[in-house]
Amino acid sequence: MQSVIPEVTYQPEAVLLSVNALRKDKVETSYVHISRLGGFFTAEYKSKQGTFHDGLYIPAEKIAKASIYERELATSLVLELTEQARDGEGIKLFVDFPKLSMIGWHNKNLKRLREALGA
């Protein structure tokens, strides 16, 4: 994570989640790291190289509000940012965590995320 974006601060109490998506003939795995102090980080994991790439990092101070919503097929995390778009509208980031093939540690960390956000 820090090799992709060095300014990310790893937080041991962070919630870690994995999202696996089937694309054509391969499985793409992305990871999410979120904590009150460390902010939000997500990146695709390249298992053959054992590395992350195409990371996105949002520092905690740029997150105005974080909410979590339960939907039928996914749990959605919504981050409202302190920055605004050019048209003056607030910027929101939506992240979906599918419920179909979740493993034990994923469920445990999703529960921790709900607790951290008071949902």
Domain ranges of the chain: 15-117
SS (H, E, C) the chain: CCCCCCCCCCCCCCEEEEEEEEECCEEEEEEEEEECCCEEEEEEEECCCCEEEEEEEECHHHEEEEEEEECCCEEEEEEEEEEECCCCCEEEEEEEEECCCCCHHHHHHHHHHHHHHCC
pLDDT in tens, 28-40: 677 777 777 778 8
**Per-residue pLDDT tens for 30-81?**
777 777 777 888 887 777 777 777 778 888 899 999 898 888 888 888 999 9
Distance CA 71, CA 46 (A): 29
CATH number for region 15-117: 2.30.29
Burial of 63 (0-12, 13-18, 19+ CB in 10 A): middle
